[in-house]
């Protein structure tokens, strides 16, 4: 039985330039999908998958993310005084010691952000969730991955098929043998030049990694876009320990882009019992 995954790293130190000007003063992870910030969806996903420690890799201007998970005594007292329910705040109240933060002083890339959490992660497997990638599924994406990880161990990354014309935007895997949703990984490349991708299976931002991934990141090598890439560090682990891609059952929304963000809002709103009917009526008439 592989060691249980208890810790999750949330890299939230990026600049979010695709959502400017909003992200000039609001962290991308705090923009709302209906009435909850993006980070709440990622944290819910992690908790439901059994994660006990939430590690936020933050940067300048990102303190709103950490404040959000504090208990807001004045707000609670006001709501209570008005006879209103506090249930709506429940998911945003972190348990004591559940949230740990570390800073990435410069946005040097996703791999560098993950590496900044190395001392907190220590010598155990860990999950990485990119909160701007919203995953909807039942069970959720990370929970599906944890279930598969408990069978195969090693490293496991979520994978998703995209049209060939889009592979240059993502980390892409070179697939080996496939068994149901699991595919062995023979190689991976970050943002391959158009027409050179080894497949159309991209990495949408959910990972379960062994501590060896942190050691691979120690080299601090720059890759695509001059950034320290997680994909490059993971590629070094292939062949040393099991490495699988997991095709999860569900939907993925790239909320880091304006169109993806709007589409995610509509998709989530349509699924909600409270706001769904009004939004459905509006969309039908548009
Ligand atoms: P993205 O490339 O999607 O985020 O990184 P970004 O750089 O913030 O956005 P754009 O492209 O400028 O619009 C994926 C994830 O990695 C984090 C981001 O916060 C995001 O969750 N990240 C990226 C870091 O934490 N540090 C970095 O140096 C880079």
CATH, residue 114: 3.90.550.10
CB 189 within 8 A of CB 240: no
- In a domain, residue 240? The reply is yes
Give 238's DSSP letter. Answer: B
Distance CA 102, CA 164 (A): 37
Q: How far is the CA of 116 from the centre of ligand 1 (A)?
A: 14
Any residues with Cβ below 6 Å from ligand 1, and which? 11-18, 28, 57, 104, 107-110, 112-113, 130-132, 256
- In a domain, residue 2? The reply is no
Q: Angle 38-48/141-152 helices, nearest 10 degrees?
A: 30
In 94-154 the beta strands, taken as DSSP E runs, fall at: 99-103, 126-129, 133-136
- With residue 271 as reference, give the H or E element that holds it: helix 258-271
Residues 6+ apart with CB under 8 A from 284: none
Q: How far is the CA of 143 from the centre of ligand 1 (A)?
A: 23
Mean residue pLDDT across the chain: 95
Q: How far is the CA of 55 from the centre of ligand 1 (A)?
A: 16
pLDDT in tens, 169-199: 999 999 999 999 999 999 999 999 998 999 9
Q: How far is the CA of 12 from the centre of ligand 1 (A)?
A: 7
Alpha carbon 195 to its chain centroid, in Å, reads 27
- In a domain, residue 1? The reply is no
Residue 139 has pLDDT above 90, yes or no: yes
CB 246 within 8 A of CB 157: yes
**How many domains does the chain contain in total?**
1
Would you state the pLDDT for residue 212? Answer: 96
- In a domain, residue 222? The reply is yes
Confidence tier at 1 by pLDDT (50, 70, 90): confident
CB 270 within 8 A of CB 280: yes
State which ligand 1 atom lies nearest to the alpha carbon of 18: 13
pLDDT in tens, 23-54: 999 999 999 999 999 999 999 999 999 999 99
- In a domain, residue 139? The reply is yes
Which domain does 206 fall in, by range? Answer: 7-285
The residue nearest atom 22 of ligand 1, judged by CA position, is: 14
């Amino acid at each position: 039985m592989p060691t249980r995954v208890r810790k999750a790293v949330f890299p939230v130190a990026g600049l979010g330039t695709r959502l400017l000007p909003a992200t000039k003063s609001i962290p991308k992870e705090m923009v709302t999908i209906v009435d909850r910030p993006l980070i709440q969806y990622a944290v819910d996903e992690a908790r439901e998958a059994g994660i006990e420690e939430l590690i936020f890799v933050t940067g300048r201007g990102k303190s709103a993310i950490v404040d959000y998970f504090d208990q807001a005594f004045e707000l609670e007292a006001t709501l209570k005084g008005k006879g209103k329910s506090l249930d709506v705040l429940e998911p945003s109240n972190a348990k004591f010691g559940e949230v740990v933060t570390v800073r990435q002083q410069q946005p040097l890339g996703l791999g560098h952000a993950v590496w900044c959490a190395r001392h907190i992660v220590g010598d155990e497997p860990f999950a990485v969730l990119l909160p701007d990638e919203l995953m909807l599924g039942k069970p959720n994406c990370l929970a599906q991955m944890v279930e598969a990880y408990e069978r195969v161990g090693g490293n496991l990354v979520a994978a998703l098929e995209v049209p060939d014309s889009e592979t240059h935007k993502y980390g892409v895997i070179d697939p080996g043998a496939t068994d149901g949703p699991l595919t062995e990984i023979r190689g991976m490349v970050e943002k391959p030049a158009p027409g050179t991708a080894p497949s159309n299976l991209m990495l949408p931002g959910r990972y379960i990694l062994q501590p060896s991934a942190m050691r691979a990141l120690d080299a601090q090598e720059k890759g695509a876009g001059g950034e320290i890439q997680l994909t490059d560090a993971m590629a070094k682990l292939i062949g040393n320990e099991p490495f699988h891609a997991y095709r999860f059952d569900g939907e993925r929304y790239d909320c880091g882009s304006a169109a993806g963000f709007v589409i995610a809002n509509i998709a989530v709103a349509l699924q909600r019992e409270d706001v769904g009917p009004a939004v459905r009526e509006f969309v039908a008439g548009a």
